[in-house]
Amino acid sequence: DFLVALQEVTPAFGASTDDLERCRINGIVDCGERHSHIYRRTMLLAEQVKVSKGSPLITCLLEGPSGSGKTAMAATIGIESDFPYVKIISAESMIGLSEGSKCAQIVKVFEDAYKSPLSIIILDDIERLIEYVAIGPRFSNLISQTLLVLLKRLPPKGKNVLVIGTTSEVNFLKMIGIRDAFSVTYHIPTLGTEDARKVLQQLKVFSDDDVDSAAEALNDMPIKMLYMVVEMAAQGEQGGEAEAIYSGRQKIKINHFLNC
């Protein structure tokens, strides 16, 4: 059953960069020093995989609050690394599949990767891949076991793989042993005031005078929520102002913004 399912999954080369780009539809802005530091460390791991003698498999987990930019960072590393095989495994493309078929899809990506001398595999939103829900908790043990084994299984001789996982449920992953199956774990934080100011300056929707109080108000927010709040404010109190804001003709009124 499983093997049949495995067969039916057709290999997918090349399409992957598109998938990765979709993870950063707003492009990438500088999110401050803490984000940058993790980015550099993870790029070093990619380099280590390239030259490694004794570690053909390195695994790295990016964890942090929902919307903090984990997937965007993993995608960026995948794109920048210039590895011949880069693939993101995400629940989006497996909606409604049975546990067994999901396993087959995941295994397939690893098998494909083993054919390339250098690969990056992104396991996006691991809690969603394993169908986690806090009540119970419930999750797919079949998929969990598959991940536990894949995170330890060495690629064939001469093939090197970097696996990047993302999650906003790191405590749960720890409980089921998946966090400790990764070689290293990095925490992607929300934006501090300083980080938020940097982001706002790049967005150019506030007048220079208002950036500081806006950043103060957005302190400790994930970047995703920052975008949402700014966009709601850009509508204006009665709607209809968005175009003027985005075209740069107008700035967001700081008082309206602070009420959002």
| Shortest separation between residue 76's beta carbon and ligand ATP, angstroms | 8
| Alpha-carbon Rg for the chain in angstroms | 21
Conformational region of residue 89, where left means phi above 0, alpha means psi within -120 to 50, and beta covers everything else: beta
Nearer to Mg ion, 71 or 105 (CB): 71
Say if CB 29 and CB 202 are below 8 A apart: yes
CA angle (223, 144, 159) in 5-degree steps: 85
Residue whose CB is less far from Mg ion, 71 or 140: 71
Residues 109-128 that bind a copy of itself (CB under 8 A): 128
> Which residues lie across from 138 on neighbouring strands?
133
- Among 28, 91, 107, 229, indicate the residue that binds ligand ATP (CB under 6 A): 28
Q: What residues are paired with 61 via a beta bridge? A: 165, 185
Nearest distance in Å: CB 27, a copy of itself: 9
> Which position among 11, 14, 54, 158 is part of the footprint of a copy of itself (CB under 8 A)?
54
Spatial CA neighbour of 53 closest among 181, 182, 185, 157: 157
Q: Which of 7, 13, 21, 26 binds ligand ATP (CB under 6 A)?
A: 26
* 68 in contact with Mg ion (CB under 5 A): no
Quick one: which of 137, 194, 202, 216 contacts a copy of itself (CB under 8 A)? Answer: 137
The H or E element that residue 253 is part of is none
Q: Catalytic site residues?
A: 70-71, 124-125, 152, 224
